[in-house]
Copies of this chain bind each other. A is one copy, B any other.
């Protein structure tokens, strides 16, 4: 039985392969909707082999969420307290939108998990996510109180950024059916729209 940390070349490779396949399957069907057989098929490994590397289905799911959490938080982490307030927040919006464009599977993975009550990442949300958000909310609150941006509730500002950007990944099926567009050019349009939207709402009160 391989230990939690992969040691050998083969273990590294297969761990990777499994998580990649699992991302595909879990993000499309949710935890309950995904089956080990699907993941096995997608990864090119046999089902017992999956369970040689991970002790259970839920452990694969948890490993995935854990592994992706850091990257997921990175755009907010990069928000720089010493930069120009409006430009920092706008840059954050665009980073999030780029994440939605480049990593829709990751976005949907988290969306599925949270819509169903976050049974497997409650800890991480209450832990590192909340800590980071609290930290950055303080920064934004500072900007707000200094009159460098409009007076807004920093938490709801962050929620509105998450909502509007992730929407294009999580609800892609709906967006695509309403805006008939070949390719994903609606991400570009969304970028223009969100840029104007948040710039307007952040402009300092006189």
Contacts and interface: CB of A to CB of B under 8 A. Distances in A.
Interface in A148-201: 150, 152-153, 155-157, 159-160, 162-164, 166-168, 170-171, 173-175, 177-179, 189-190, 192-194, 196-197, 200-201
A53 interface: no
A116 B156 CA distance: 26
Contacts of A163: 163-164, 166-167, 171
A49 B167 CA distance: 39
The A interface, classified by DSSP as helix, strand, loop or mixed, is helix
Interface in A95-118: 108, 111-112, 114-118
A72 interface: no
Contacts of A197: 152, 160, 201
A29 interface: yes
Residue in A33, A122, A129 whose Cβ sees the most chain B Cβ within 10 Å: A33
Instruction: Give the bracket for the number of chain A residues in contact with chain B.
Output: 35 or more
14 contacts: A30-B112, A30-B115, A32-B32, A108-B115, A111-B171, A114-B170, A129-B178, A133-B178, A152-B193, A152-B197, A153-B193, A157-B193, A159-B175, A162-B167
Given A115-B173, A126-B177, A159-B168, 19 more contacts: A30-B33, A111-B170, A112-B115, A115-B171, A118-B177, A122-B177, A134-B178, A152-B193, A153-B189, A156-B189, A156-B190, A159-B167, A159-B175, A160-B193, A160-B194, A162-B171, A163-B163, A163-B171, A200-B201
A-B CB proximity, top 9 nearest: A32-B33, A163-B167, A156-B193, A163-B163, A118-B173, A200-B201, A125-B177, A163-B164, A117-B173
